[in-house]
Structure 1
């Protein structure tokens, strides 16, 4: 019902840019360029948590990009999922390379030819999803997979992670506290366990996706949960670290890997 209200309000109320407030557009050209105008880049927080995958991001989490992500996530501006999904798709391409069978920039080894990429969204708490009326990361992931397919790269969303226990609100926690808060919090769903056990999912095609990287604790925990699943010990790519993509990362994470 809440999603319906957001859709109707977008038609009935005056539209302003989510990034800067410019009237009569949901995302103006300037704010769109801030999100999509540059190449995806490898990012890394400092200190990085153990087990953090190689992560690619589209833009620093600041100014217009921060406002756009918050508008989609917290205020239900669902129309922004298109631009956010395109940004995420670019990060997936950067992290996996352009050609199957070629070594990838992440150093996680070559991709197997033929099989689709599997975008695994980091799950939100059920209470957060209920309060927002939608799952922002999964929505962006679906859009990113669609964008990848349009460009000729097979991709699907595989929601195989879930929270096994409640976690505290991450806001206000430092890097060490976030790692402690999230340790052991995620696990594979029963369906995910079955897919991996039967060999229907290849670990080297899994791309962990999220909207934002700050300390890296969430992605490190997601990588642990996937890496400890059935068949992981048979997959060198998992032992070397999963691949990951996010829409935005903290400015300091961009600065560390600036060329």
Structure 2
């Protein structure tokens, strides 16, 4: 009921930009903030220290200012309409991850710049139309979903898949990861403590591996900080998942990962 009340309120009340407060931004993000959220194109990111088993991760934005405000508004304040622009950002990060698997690591994805308007791409991501992309969201813990009234990562993942399909890429969301045990609150934990907290926490649902076998697997999350969640998700999925046998030359492709945002120092331009 809370979710429906929020969505109905968004239909009748003036919508201010979640990034800067500019009034009457139809998508929840004004054009200037949309450019900051995903206009620069995706980039390769890596935390320091890097947890063992972390797949190659691409992010659409730096986690500061606009990206931070929009993600928090969606996740913590229930601004559910922001899933669409955040999904557009995640779709571009996914496109960057797929481009990197073709041997273009570090290169900008062609055609990823341009403005976003609800329901369509302008200069959309250059991804092969013959691919089937399987987006696997990192699951939120049940108590967080209950407190928020929604699962923010899953919601963004579905918006990203829809955006990719509008751009000509066959994409679907396969939420096959589940928590197998309780985990502690990650807030305030260092990188080593987060990895220990999550070690062995995730597993596949029954039949999950079969659901991953028909496409290229991309793990998705809203934010990467230490990389512990993505590393645990990659471990739970295991090697060889989503090899996409029979789809182009994608056999034995490694799992990739994409997020909406990551800390500025994680971006490749800042690596030593």
Counting only pairs closer than 5 Å after superposition, residues 142-157 of structure 1 correspond to structure 2 as 142-157=158-173
Aligned-residue CA RMSD in angstroms?
2.6
Match of 1:214 among 199, 209, 225: 225
For the 8 Å contact 2:74–2:152, the answer to whether it is kept is yes
Does the C-alpha gap of structure 1 residues 194 and 33 become closer, same or farther in structure 2, counting only changes over 3 Å? closer
Counting only pairs closer than 5 Å after superposition, residues 184-195 of structure 1 correspond to structure 2 as 184-195=200-211
Counting only pairs closer than 5 Å after superposition, residues 120-199 of structure 1 correspond to structure 2 as 120-195=136-211
TM-score under structure 1 length normalisation: 0.86
For the 8 Å contact 1:44–1:253, the answer to whether it is kept is yes
Would you say 1:30 and 2:41 are equivalent positions? no
Secondary structure of 1:97's counterpart equals helix
Would you say 1:105 and 2:66 are equivalent positions? no
Deviation (angstroms), 1:29: 1.9
For the 8 Å contact 1:96–1:104, the answer to whether it is kept is no
For the 8 Å contact 1:42–1:257, the answer to whether it is kept is no
Match of 1:205 among 210, 213, 216: 216
2:120 is aligned to none
**1:173-214 deviations in whole A, cap 9, x for unaligned?**
110000000100100011304446xxxx14x61000000000
TM-score under structure 2 length normalisation: 0.82
Secondary structure of 1:103's counterpart equals helix
Larger displacement relative to structure 2 (85-94 or 16-25)? 16-25
Bigger fraction of residues in helix:
1
What is the distance in 2 between the residues matched to 1:206 and 1:39? 21
Does the C-alpha gap of structure 1 residues 118 and 125 become closer, same or farther in structure 2, counting only changes over 3 Å? same
Structure 2 runs not aligned, ≥5 long:
107-126, 246-250
Deviation (angstroms), 1:114: 4.0
Instruction: Give the number of aligned pairs.
Output: 244
Deviation (angstroms), 1:150: 1.1
What is the distance in 2 between the residues matched to 1:135 and 1:208? 16
Does the C-alpha gap of structure 1 residues 231 and 244 become closer, same or farther in structure 2, counting only changes over 3 Å? closer
For the 8 Å contact 1:193–1:229, the answer to whether it is kept is no
**1:71-103 deviations in whole A, cap 9, x for unaligned?**
0111111111111111111111111129xxx82
